[in-house]
Amino acid sequence: MRANKYFDLICGSYEPAVSDQHVPDFAYNPLNTSGKLYNPIIDNEWLRENKPPIWPDNRKFAVCLTHDVDSVSDFDPRQNIRRIKKLLKTTSNRSLGETARKVVEHNLSALKGLVGKKDNLCEFDKWMDLEAKHGARSTFFFAPEKVGQPHESDCMYKYDQKIKYRGKFIDVAGLMREMDSQGWEIGLHPSWHTFDDLDEMVFQKQQVEAVLDHSINSVRQHFLKYDPLNTFKVQTEAGFKYDSTMGYNDNLGFRRGSSYLFNCYDLKSDQPLPLLQLPLIIQDGALLAPDKGLRLDSDKALEYIKHVANEVRLVGGVLTLSWHPHTFNRPGYFDVYRKVLELLEKDDPWFATVNEVGDWWRKRSEIDLLKFTKNIPSE
Ligand SMILES: [Zn+2]
């Protein structure tokens, strides 16, 4: 262990390594115990003697809106058959009663699909219209449709699956191209087992690129499941420029003590990687899910968001948010998102996609937090 706590924090050397294919604690952070989780301590340290980042048009901070597309519809019959098959293959992970309940549930959903009932699970156009109203475009991270090494958490949709979009039915590939052509960004939401598998990561990246007919630069791991020793190297070698996985499933705040972009670090070779990190600061489920995380009501969630957004504004950083499109019909979720955008717009941030923020930082920023934290004298 190095002596400098800031450098250790930003490099991830405090974070537990994967053991037995399992990340021990998704929410682990040494800042949890010191009460500094909602304070970008490294950015504040930087600002003691240095200037804040500059943003286009002299804006004071940036907001990066993102969405992990885990699911696109409920009633698709083929998807439900795939779900049932997977359930029956993985029965050892749950009780028999639970498996039976889920099988019945998916059968019913498949039946609804077969009689022509279409769901409005995601309402992608509503997310896009809301963002456009605020002059924003977001990044949608899409899962691959094929996975070489399956895991029970894999997303189940296919790119030819039909979904409703602006009153018509289009397939997922069509939606991805539509978003792409209108200035939204498409990134990869790779499956569980990509965390240490380059071939698998490349295989999944190429599927999205084949749909778009151009390369993609950004990535966020499904379930934020990463291995500090391997994942960022794998992402780099797969050709990604920007990752936004360093956040929480059960809390919000600054996992590596910063809202600035910084180079991911290869702990094995003790070298920085060219891959830039846009830390994920706030995600929907961690605040609003009734059965995990902070379990807040909408008003309390907004209070937390306001507090953390203000911290980012004060240091001139990037507030990266993630809202899952499939939460559209859940109480609170879309409504809180709408209120957050209204709230943020009042402070006139630079709304930008992962790529836009990353490209700007690469060209214009002289802030290198690895170099900076390395030179902070140890206490
Ligand atoms: Zn996911």
Give counts: helices (H), strands (E), the chain. 14, 12
Pairing of strands 168-171, 162-165: antiparallel
Sequence letter at residue 143:
A
pLDDT in tens, 223-281: 999 999 999 999 999 999 999 999 999 899 999 999 999 999 999 999 999 999 999 99
219/157 same-domain check = yes
Residue 379 domain flag: no
Q: What is the pLDDT of residue 1?
A: 42
Residue 71 Cα to ligand 1 midpoint, Å, equals: 9
Residues with CB under 5 A from ligand 1 (ion): 68, 70, 222
Residue 124 Cα to ligand 1 midpoint, Å, equals: 16
15/37 same-domain check = yes
52/162 same-domain check = yes
44/103 same-domain check = no
135/227 same-domain check = yes
CATH code for the domain in which residue 151 is found: 3.20.20.370
Q: Collect all residues with Cβ–Cβ distance below 8 Å to 246 and sequence separation of at least 6.
A: 224, 226, 255, 256, 277, 279, 280
289/225 same-domain check = yes
Residue 364 Cα to ligand 1 midpoint, Å, equals: 31
82/147 same-domain check = no
91/224 same-domain check = no
Q: What is the pLDDT of residue 23?
A: 63
- The last residue of one of the domains, among 63, 82, 117, is 117
- The last residue of one of the domains, among 62, 96, 117, is 117
Residue 164 domain flag: yes
97/234 same-domain check = no
Compare 154 and 107 and report the one with higher pLDDT. Answer: 154
**282-288-294 Cα angle (round to 5):** 75
124/253 same-domain check = yes
143/275 same-domain check = yes
Residue 285 Cα to ligand 1 midpoint, Å, equals: 11
Residue 190 Cα to ligand 1 midpoint, Å, equals: 8
pTM over 0.95: no
pLDDT in tens, 315-352: 999 999 999 999 999 999 999 999 999 999 999 999 99
Cα–Cα distance for residue pair 240/198, rounded to 1 Å: 12
Residue 239 domain flag: yes
Average pLDDT over residues 103-132: 81
- The last residue of one of the domains, among 117, 137, 169, is 117
pLDDT in tens, 363-379: 999 999 999 999 988 76
> For the CA atoms of the chain, what is the radius of gyration?
20
Domain that holds residue 297: 5-73+120-374
Paired with 163 in beta bridges are 170
Residue 199 domain flag: yes
Residue 189 Cα to ligand 1 midpoint, Å, equals: 7
Domain count, the chain: 2
39/106 same-domain check = no
Residue 137 domain flag: yes
Residue 175 domain flag: yes
Mean pLDDT over each residue of the chain, to the nearest integer: 91
pLDDT in tens, 140-197: 999 999 999 998 889 999 999 999 999 999 999 999 999 999 999 999 999 999 999 9
**195-201-202 Cα angle (round to 5):** 160
